[in-house]
Every structure is written in C-alpha cells, then in structure tokens.
Chain A
C-alpha cells in the first residue's frame, strides 16, 4: 500500500463536506490558540466528522472524541487533514 504524503495545505477541517470525516494531520495558529485546539483533543491522528454548519454558515460543529466542538471556519482552516483516509490504525 502506498501511503500518500500525510498532509496537504489545501485540505483542512473547513473543507470537509457536511457529514464528511477526516483525520487530523497538523494543527497551526498562534501558540495560545494552537495549544487550546490540541488540548481540546484535535491531535494528529484523531478522526472527526463535520456534523453541521450553523444557520448563518459559520461556526461549524465537529464531532470528535465522543463530543461536539464548535469552531469558526477561521480556526477550522488551521487544522490540516490527512488526504484520504489512508492513515489508519491510530485510534481504536
């Protein structure tokens, strides 16, 4: 099996379609924001789903680690996803 390069800057949480699932590859942002995103469980390898968008288009609601987390598109763009679902076996 060929594993593609794990991240691509064009593919972030903000690009997920409604109901789409992805796996976190990278987390950016200023140190304080980056720390909080990581602390909330958005660590590389963590799978998540875009559950819905708010009625006015923003913020977005994600499901990860058994709970719902709301982020604006601006924050969602800081979280890069692995392309496809090729990175496997990170979480049970």
Chain B
C-alpha cells in the first residue's frame, strides 16, 4: 500500500465510469485483482494540481452501497475503508449518467453520507440532450453542495475541469470531513421514517429527495426511441431469436475459421524461434529443455492468444453496444429451467473459448448458488484446446465420411458438452434442493456505438489477465510434463538393444533415393528411440500404471501417456501422441500420426485404434476435467478445495462411465 492520495470512481454499471477512468489516467493504469477474489482492481495514476502523483481506483459498478454481488461488495468495502489491501479513498468521484439520473442520484445520496470529499461527474449529457433531457448542473450543484462537472469521457470534454475540482476537494479538506449531507436529504429521510417500515422509509425518503431535486434541475425528455425500436427487433419473438442465433453462429464460425490458422501460426512460430535459438547448441538435456519444455510451454500459452483476443473483442463489442444484457434476457428462461441464470449466459459463452475467462466472468452473478453451479458446469463446454484433439480423431477415424458428416460429428461433440452442462446443472439444483429461484434484476442500458479505443483497451487488459492467470500454470505444467516424459532416461544397454531391434526390422520406404537412405534411416531411428525413451520415462510408467483403469474404455498405455500429457493443456495430447508414435512433432505431420495410429496393432494383431476406441476417446475429451489451470482458477474463485475437487472427481467419473457405455455399445 502506498502513501499516495487515492481517488475512487464510483458509479452504476454502464454509466460511463470506465471511459472516464481511461480519459483521466490515459494508459497509466494497471489491472490486478483484489486479493482472494477475482474482482478486477483497476488502478491508474494522475498528477494533481500541485504536481504530486495520486492513484485513481475504478471501482466495480454498483447500484447501492448495500451490495448484492461480489463486485458490489468490493466497491462498498473500499469506500467504507474496510479492505486491508486498499487504502480508504481520500476523495470520491461519483459518476452519474445524465440519461438515467434518478438511479445515479440514489447512489450519490449514499455517497454523501460517506464523509469524504465528493465530486460528481455527469456523463452522457450528449445522449441525454438528444432525448430532450437537459440537466441544470448548476442547480444540481447548489442542491447537492458538491461540485457537479459535466463530462464527455471519450472526447475528453470536461476532464480538465474534473481534475481541478478533485484538486480543490482534496485541498479544501485535510481528508477527514466530507461535504456533509444536504439538509433536504436528511429531512426527506426523516420525514418518511415515521412509518413502521424502516427499509421503505429509508429508500422512499431518498427517492422523495431525488424526485424533488429532479423537478427543480432537470427538464425531462422522452425515452430513447432508437433503443425502443432496436429492442422491438432484437427482443422480438421471431427476429430476436433469429438474430441471436445469427450472432452466436457467426461468433463460432469466426472463432474457428479465423482463429485456427492464427493458432497454428503462433505455435509453429514459437517452436521455430526455439529451434533457431538453439541451432548452435549441442544436442542434450538443456537443448531439449529449452525446445520441448520452455518453448513448447510458451507455445502452449501463446496458441490461446488469437482465440482469447477474438473472444474478448466480440464480448467487448457486444457488451459496449448494450447487446449482452439483451442476450441475458433472451436466454434467461432457458437457463432458469436448468437452475442457471440469465447472467450465466456470458460466462458459459466465454467457456467455449476457454473455461478460465468463463469462470472469471461469473463474478457478476449475484447469487452464490447459481454462480457456483455456473462455475461447476462451465468446463463441460468444448473449449478451443479440445479442438485439435477433435480434429485429429475425426480426421483419422471418420475420414471415409463426407466432409459435412465429419462436421456433424464435430457439432455432436459440442452439443454433447452443452447437454452435459445443462444436465449436471439441473441435477445439482435438484440435489441441493431448489430454494426459490434467485431474482433476475437487470438494467437494459440504451444502445451505444462501441468506442474503438475502449474496446481495444478492454481486449488488451482481458487478454493479458488471462495470460498471467492461465499462462503461468500452463507454462509451469509444460516444464513438469517435459521432465516426466524425459526422465529417467533409458540405460545405454537398453538403447543398444532397441537400436539392434530397429536395425533388424527397419526397411527403407520403396521410393527412398539411394543418397538419402542414411538420412532417412537415422531419422526413423531417432523417432523410434524417442518413442522407446518415452516408454521408460515417468510418464511411460504412469501410462502403464493407469492402463487397468482406462482399459475398460478401450484405451491402452500409449493413450494413457497422452492423457497424462493432456493435463498441461488438452491439445498437448496430440503432440504427446506424436512422440509416443515416433512421428516427431506432429505440428506439420498430423497425417503421419494418423497413419501410425491406424497401423498400430495389439499383440493379437487387431487394430488398437478402432472406431469404438476413437469415439470413446472423443467422449472422454468432451466430458473429462483434464485442465489443471481451470482447477487452479476454480480454487481461487470459490476460496477452497471443495468445489475444484468435486468438479475434478465428478467430471472424470462421469466421463469414465460415459466412455465405458460408449465403448461397450460400439465395440
């Protein structure tokens, strides 16, 4: 904690608070978490009038200082000085939206009681003016007894005036006393407190004061005709649902068609960089660690960036335009039936890119019960890391089917995940006993054109938050996976024996030119030895060790090694199989891996990989919880080990049973 003076920005959700924060601080800001929870803590720096630096905190949006969600809780705790990790602000800027003034003033009526220097920033005056709403900010200022500064954040209008008002507020008070509660507010609350209903009298009193204040200082206008007309279409029985399907469909298609080539480029770029850097190094453990541990780890993280960035781009555009709130309204009925909530929609949608941002997005859900269930089922939705595995197995075992039928199999896998998520959510709600359903109270903000700068900043902040949270785990696990697939190394005798076995059996492919023969032979020997080395490593032993458990599902120890590798990140399954099947890095030779898998035979001569095995494996990847990074995030989110372990155990048991049934039916 620093000795800098701090200024907190408080306001309703959608009031333009973050835009104003960006305008005030420029890019001098950082996003962290409040310790112990994943509510974002946005802090920026400004210089005060006397040249001294100060910190600006962008608090989560809140309607009231009596919180109902984890987000709002943080805002209230910071303002009351109840958080050990954050200094009580020296001044508060209340951000209120001129087009929804009454609700903003409700929060102001509570902020006035905080006894801190307060400045009111009036945003969206331009939007309000278009609707004929004119706010007399001078009259408002006189009535509130604190400065009221009209601002247009994205154009920078009024920002300088706001800064000097904050300066004066900090100077005028040594930090101990605020402006005080306006007499009229105290009177209005006192006037209604004669009733026997303290809650109604408190809030009714505040709104009575607000109504009087607005009568004196606001020329009221009409409601937003644009928003009403757009909603007439977007919440329409037919067009609304059609448009929703269209938006979600194009999101998916974009994620897959655009992200897949970018993902490939990222991972092969990183691998190439590693090889280039180590080109002059002698072969050995260090080189292997750098290439197969560190750079593979970095590649494993980087590969997610295009998907995650695209996802956040979509979400920012949808959110800033105001559509996400409508999506929650459209989906609430459906989600409600399985024990989820309209607000579960955004987390679940995000989980199709990666469960981690999805789980992080659940913090806007007010009810702990529905939040936990959303976290519990989010990993069932097929994330982008499953895609390479689906693609490999479908291409290898269903290649005889026409393309559109392969596409249908892919779709079926996604639908299976969705079905499992809904079924488990429904079951969890049944088991825990359905208390009265959690309320759905959601403001529908008026539609706005997203500001490119805000969107870009949001994408950057969210993507880097993902990289630091998931990236560190994926990276560390990649090194661990490298170590257990490398050590212990086979003994020299073992290598000699394997080499002679290889020499006895190996035949050059018929089309090998004579001058390339030695090179091809050496290459094949290296790959064969790598496969043998993997077998003697810890991972190989683990593969054999878990074989009895996975044999009923049709899996053998080689697949077991792949499954062990998949715990770093699911797509590692593909590259681990590449090593087991001695085709080297399958990044550029997936065809080779497919051929090897198809050619693999059991001791009795029957194929190892049958359609039944492949289908069972696909079902495993849809349903099983294999992602340690997700488990780590769930632990952090839920504040304990109960939920992550329940999720890990439950999903894997469910996957095991489903695979057993699949395999028994098909085999």
Interface residue A43 (Cβ < 8 Å from any Cβ of B): yes
> In the complex, what residue of chain B is closest to A27 when comparing beta carbons?
B200
Question: Do A59 and B204 touch (CB < 8 A)?
Answer: no
Give the distance to chain B from A71, nearest Cβ to Cβ, in Å: 6
Interface residue B525 (Cβ < 8 Å from any Cβ of A): no
A69 touching B444 in the complex, CB below 8 Å, given contacts A40-B103, A55-B241: yes
Interface residue B389 (Cβ < 8 Å from any Cβ of A): no
Chain A: interface residue total (CB-CB under 8 A): 38
A40 touching B441 in the complex, CB below 8 Å, given contacts A55-B236, A56-B333: yes
Interface residue B568 (Cβ < 8 Å from any Cβ of A): no
Interface residues of B in 1-34 (CB under 8 A from A): none
Contacts of B232 in A (CB 8 A): 52
User: Which label, helix, strand, loop or mixed, suits the secondary structure of the A interface?
Assistant: mixed
Interface residue B629 (Cβ < 8 Å from any Cβ of A): no
Question: Do A55 and B330 touch (CB < 8 A)?
Answer: yes
Interface residue B443 (Cβ < 8 Å from any Cβ of A): yes
Interface residue B387 (Cβ < 8 Å from any Cβ of A): no
A63 touching B203 in the complex, CB below 8 Å, given contacts A39-B66, A54-B329, A70-B329: no
Interface residues of A in 28-51 (CB under 8 A from B): 29, 31-41, 43-44, 46, 51
Identify which of A27, A33, A38, A58 gathers the most chain B CB atoms within 10 Å of its CB: A38
Interface residue A86 (Cβ < 8 Å from any Cβ of B): no
How many B residues are at the interface, by size bracket?
35 or more
Interface residue A5 (Cβ < 8 Å from any Cβ of B): no
Interface residues of B in 320-368 (CB under 8 A from A): 325, 329-330, 332-334, 336, 342
Question: Do B66 and A51 touch (CB < 8 A)?
Answer: no
Interface residue A15 (Cβ < 8 Å from any Cβ of B): no
Question: Do B440 and A75 touch (CB < 8 A)?
Answer: yes
| Of the residues A36, A40, A57, A65, contact of B333 by C-beta under 8 Å | A57
- A27–B199 alpha-carbon span in the complex (Å): 11
A51 touching B231 in the complex, CB below 8 Å, given contacts A38-B199, A39-B66, A75-B439: yes
Give the distance to chain A from B129, nearest Cβ to Cβ, in Å: 13
| Of the residues A27, A38, A68, contact of B227 by C-beta under 8 Å | A68
> In the complex, what residue of chain A is closest to B204 when comparing beta carbons?
A43
Interface residue A4 (Cβ < 8 Å from any Cβ of B): no
Q: What 1/0 mask marks residues of chain B from 427 to 465 whose CB sits below 8 Å from any chain A CB?
A: 000000000110111111110000000000000000000
- A35–B223 alpha-carbon span in the complex (Å): 26
| Of the residues B100, B238, B334, B336, contact of A65 by C-beta under 8 Å | B100
Interface residues of B in 90-121 (CB under 8 A from A): 99-103, 106
Contacts of A67 in B (CB 8 A): 99-100, 103, 443-446
Q: What 1/0 mask marks residues of chain B from 539 to 564 whose CB sits below 8 Å from any chain A CB?
A: 00000000000000000000000000
Question: Do B333 and A58 touch (CB < 8 A)?
Answer: yes
Contacts of B66 in A (CB 8 A): 35, 39
| Of the residues B63, B100, B228, B444, contact of A66 by C-beta under 8 Å | B100
Question: Do B211 and A91 touch (CB < 8 A)?
Answer: yes
Question: Do A66 and B220 touch (CB < 8 A)?
Answer: yes
Contacts of A72 in B (CB 8 A): 332, 336, 437, 439-440
| Of the residues B63, B333, B439, contact of A39 by C-beta under 8 Å | B63
Interface residue B235 (Cβ < 8 Å from any Cβ of A): yes
Interface residue B215 (Cβ < 8 Å from any Cβ of A): yes
Interface residue A13 (Cβ < 8 Å from any Cβ of B): no
Interface residue B155 (Cβ < 8 Å from any Cβ of A): no
Question: Do B332 and A37 touch (CB < 8 A)?
Answer: no
Interface residue B70 (Cβ < 8 Å from any Cβ of A): no
- A56–B342 alpha-carbon span in the complex (Å): 12
Contacts of A44 in B (CB 8 A): 200, 204
> In the complex, what residue of chain B is closest to A57 when comparing beta carbons?
B333
Identify which of A32, A51, A52, A68 gathers the most chain B CB atoms within 10 Å of its CB: A68
Interface residue B207 (Cβ < 8 Å from any Cβ of A): yes
Q: What 1/0 mask marks residues of chain B from 231 to 254 whose CB sits below 8 Å from any chain A CB?
A: 110011110110000000000000
| Of the residues A31, A56, A65, A69, contact of B441 by C-beta under 8 Å | A69
**Chain B residues within CB distance 8 Å of chain A:** 63-64, 66, 68, 99-103, 106, 133, 199-200, 203-204, 207, 211, 214-215, 220, 223, 227-228, 231-232, 235-238, 240-241, 325, 329-330, 332-334, 336, 342, 436-437, 439-446
22 CB contacts below 8 A, A to B, read A27-B200, A29-B439, A32-B68, A34-B199, A35-B199, A35-B203, A36-B63, A38-B200, A39-B63, A39-B106, A40-B443, A41-B106, A43-B207, A56-B334, A61-B444, A66-B100, A67-B103, A67-B443, A67-B445, A68-B446, A71-B441, A72-B440
Please give me the 5 A-B residue pairs with the lowest Cβ-Cβ distance, nearest first.
A56-B333, A68-B444, A38-B203, A65-B102, A67-B100
